[in-house]
Amino acid sequence: MADMKTDQVYQYLERISNLLRTDTRRTMVEKGLQPVQLEALHYLSHCNRYSNTPAAVADFLGLTKGTVSQTLGLLENVGMIEKLPDYKDRRMVHLQLTSRGNKVIAETIPPKSLQMAMEQMTESDQDSVLLALDKMLKAMQGANQLRTFGVCKTCRHHQIETDDQHRCALTGEYLKAEDIDKICREHESPA
């Protein structure tokens, strides 16, 4: 049986999640999107070049490859994403948001209710919430043995060679400046 604090945390998170979904759904209806389509767009807006594949989208969303394939096909058909071949392996495709897809994300995420709530909190309270949520997410991912999908520069494979040069020790490749601040499918927390 769950202890009292765990139950309270669950109640808060469930209610916050419902409020965020309600706020986001209103915007999605205006844009003609389904929740899974917006989730895929949001993920693609924050992932790096190692993580912008259909398989990574499926892994992040916890959905089947078939469901994700249909979702991505619809997003491509309406001009919100484009598929680009990998420069090393032509069998692999990378997904990139178009200007239309970026516009939808900018107008939808984060929901207005969250923006207003954060504006009402002190900076110290905002930092405390972020720290607590980060710890909770990491603990839940570890307990469920899920990929962390963390920010590249916080990965154990991230190496800084000079101020301007960063390398992924896992792939051996140099990282672009925009990659190190995005989430990566291969992320591993520093032990």
Which parts of 22-154 are beta strand (E)?
81-85, 93-97
Domain boundaries, the chain: 4-147, 148-191
Burial of residue 99 (number of CB atoms within 10 Å: 0-12, 13-18, 19+): exposed
Tens digits of pLDDT across the chain (191 residues) = 568 888 999 999 999 989 988 888 888 888 889 989 999 999 999 999 889 999 999 999 999 999 999 999 999 999 999 999 988 888 899 999 999 999 999 998 888 889 999 999 999 999 999 999 988 887 887 777 767 788 888 888 899 888 889 998 888 888 988 888 898 888 888 86
- Identity of the residue numbered 49: R
Q: What is the pLDDT of residue 171?
A: 87
Overall fold of domain 4-147: Arc Repressor Mutant, subunit A (1.10.10)
Residue whose C-alpha is closest to residue 44's, from 88, 93, 111, 112: 93
- So what's the pLDDT on residue 191? 67
Phi, psi of 19 (to 5 degrees): -65, -40
Residue 80: predicted pLDDT: 97
Fold of 148-191: Ubiquitin Ligase Nedd4; Chain: W; (2.20.70)
So what's the pLDDT on residue 30? 84
Q: Give the global pTM.
A: 0.80
Note whether 60 and 68 are within 8 A (CB): no
Which amino acid makes up residue 130?
A: L
Alpha-helical segments (H) within 49-111:
54-61, 65-77, 99-108
Which tokens go with 144? 């469920």
Tokens of 8: 């309270």
Token pair in block for residue 147? 């990929």
Considering only the C-alpha atoms of the chain, give the largest distance between any 2 of them, rounded to a whole number of Å. Answer: 53
Residue 73 pLDDT? 96
